[in-house]
Amino acid sequence: MRWSTGALTFQVLHPARADYEAKRPTNSMSCVVLITSGATRLLLTGDVPLGDEIAMLTREPELRADWLAVPHHGSRSSSGALFLNTLGARFAVAQAGYRNRFRHPDAEVIARYRARKIDFFRTDHTGALQWRFAADGSITVASSRQTQPRYWHNRPAPESHVVAPEDAPETGATAPDAIPGPPEPFTGR
């Protein structure tokens, strides 16, 4: 299914029509939407697991996205190498709650993104994110923890302060959970 409104084009890539006939797990029925505006392509993935990532690429082998909503909050059952390599994304955001009980996003998944030099944002650290794509091609990302700080909000360390799993001490310790202020906004192209 595809439709346009103004400068935006939306295309539903998943689930496939045949998926509605089969009894599929809930996550496998997540709606995946590609949003295109000019040369910018955003892929919203829902909770699709690895098997559905592969099925989607089988149907859409030329699928590319600049921005990616990390599948299934960054769980171990998603963000496969084939998916990430095919998309060629430059930026990704894992939508996860602060101190969530599932510990999403998973450290191995984050490492997959970093190995591909994909800028990785985490809403458990930043709060809500707002992406702005200007006509001149510039991109600004603002974090609600920065733009609307509250004194009672804990401010997790920015990504540069998080210890990667392979660099962590033997105790399994990670970077401090709080720093004196919110992370700086990302502005780039």
Task: Provide the CATH number for the domain around residue 42.
Answer: 3.60.15.10
Using the predicted structure, report yes or no on whether residue 162 has a pLDDT greater than 70.
Answer: no
The rounded mean pLDDT for the chain is 79
pLDDT at 186: 52
Say if residues 81 and 105 touch (Cβ distance below 8 Å): no
The verdict on whether omega for the bond into residue 156 sits within 30 degrees of 0, i.e. cis, is no
pLDDT per residue over 92-108, tens digit each?
999 887 777 767 788 89
Using the predicted structure, report yes or no on whether residue 90 has a pLDDT greater than 90.
Answer: yes
- Could you list the residue range(s) of the whole structural domain that residue 112 is in? 2-188
Using the predicted structure, report yes or no on whether residue 159 has a pLDDT greater than 70.
Answer: no
Structural domains counted in the chain: 1
**Alpha-carbon span 172 to 166, nearest angstrom:** 10
- Short-list 125, 136, 138, 135, CA closest to 184: 125
- Short-list 80, 79, 189, 67, CA closest to 129: 67
Using the predicted structure, report yes or no on whether residue 91 has a pLDDT greater than 90.
Answer: yes
3-state secondary structure 116-140: CCCEEEEHHHHCCEEEEECCCCCEE
pLDDT per residue over 109-150, tens digit each?
999 999 999 999 998 888 888 888 877 878 888 888 778 777
Query: What confidence tier does 65 reach under pLDDT thresholds 50, 70, 90?
Result: very high
Of residues 21 and 178, which shows the higher confidence score? 21
